[in-house]
Amino acid sequence: MRKFRQKYYDLFSKCYDRFIAMHATDRRGVLREILAAQTGAGPGDVVLDICTGTGAALLPLGGRVGMGGLAVGLDFSSGMLGVARRKTGGTPQICLVQADCEHLPFKAGIFAAVTCSHAFYELQGQTQTLALREIQRCLKPGAPFLMMEHEVPENRFVRLLFHVRLISMGRERAVQILKHERNFLLQHFQQVTKTTAATGRSKVFICSGAKP
C-alpha cells in the first residue's frame, strides 16, 4: 500500500504545482510565505517541512533562516523531491531528505519549527498520530508545529473535486477534516490556534506544548 501511494505521488508530481494553484486560488504563490512567516523562525534557525512535496514552503523558509540556518524538506516520494530539487537547487540553506514522516531521521529537540502544508489530511491510518509524536520529539521545547490546510473551496467545480477527494479517504476521515480537526490536534498539543490566510482559501493551525 505504501509503495502504491509513493507511486501515486511520483505521478502526481508532474502536474502538482498547477493543480494546487487552481485549488488554493493562490496565483501569486504567497500562501507558503504566510506559513513561513507564522513559524516565527529567524536567521540561524533549523526548521523542518514534512511532506514537502515540490518544496513550495522551502524557499520562504530558507529565506527566513538565512545562510546560517537550515530548512529541511522531507517527503517519501522521489518524484516530488525531484521537482523540489529543481526548484530549490542552488540555495545552500535548503536540504531535502527522502523518508516517511512516521519515522523522522533526526535527533530530538533540534527544530525551531515544523511545518506541514496541504498534506496532513492525506496521511493514512495511524500515520497522522505517529507523525505528530515524531514532530513533538524533534521540536525544541515550546517550538511550534504549523499545519496549513485548504478551506472548503467556493468554486463549485473545485468544491466537487474537494468532496470527491474527501470521500475517497473514507467517511470518518472526512468528518474529522470538516468538523473535528482542532479537537484532534488538541489531543496532542496544549495550545492550538487557528488562523485564516488572508489570500487563497487556506487555514493554519499553530500548535505548541506537547501533551505526553
Ligand X SMILES: C[S@@+](CC[C@H](N)C(=O)[O-])C[C@H]1O[C@@H](n2cnc3c(N)ncnc32)[C@H](O)[C@@H]1O
Distance separating alpha carbons of residues 23 and 158, to the nearest angstrom: 6
Interaction of residue 136 with ligand X, rule CB under 6 A: no
At closest approach, how far in Å is the CB of 55 from ligand X?
8
| Cell 524538506 found at | 73
- Indicate whether 177 belongs to the interface with ligand X (CB under 6 A): no
Q: Which three cell numbers stand for residue 37?
A: 512567516
The residues, any chain, with a CB within 8 Å of residue 212's CB and separated by 6 or more, are none
Q: Considering the complex, what minimum distance in angstroms separates the CB of residue 5 from ligand X?
A: 6
189 lies in the binding site for ligand X (CB under 6 A): no
The answer to whether the CB of 148 falls within 8 A of the CB of 203 is yes
Whether the Cβ atoms of residue 172 and residue 178 lie closer than 8 Å to each other: no
Task: Tell me the one-letter amino acid at 132.
Answer: L
CA pseudo-torsion sign 115, 18, 202, 77: negative
Q: Which of residues 45-84 bind ligand X (CB under 6 A)?
A: 51-53, 56-57, 75-77, 80
Total count of residues recorded for the chain: 212
Q: Is the CB of 34 or the CB of 112 nearer to ligand X?
A: 34
* C-beta of 20 vs 59, nearer to ligand X: 20
Position closest to ligand X via CB: 53
Contact 201, 154 (CB under 8 A): yes
Binders of ligand X in range 83-112 (CB under 6 A)? 100-102
Task: Work out whether 118 is an interface residue with ligand X (CB under 6 A).
Answer: yes
Determine, following the binding rule CB under 6 A, whether residue 119 of this chain makes contact with ligand X: yes
Whether the Cβ atoms of residue 37 and residue 122 lie closer than 8 Å to each other: no
Nearer to ligand X, 11 or 67 (CB): 11
Q: Is 139 in the site for ligand X (CB under 6 A)?
A: no
Among 88, 117, 136, 202, contact with ligand X (rule: CB under 6 A):
117
Binding site for ligand X (CB under 6 A): 9, 20, 51-53, 56-57, 75-77, 80, 100-102, 117-119, 122-123, 127
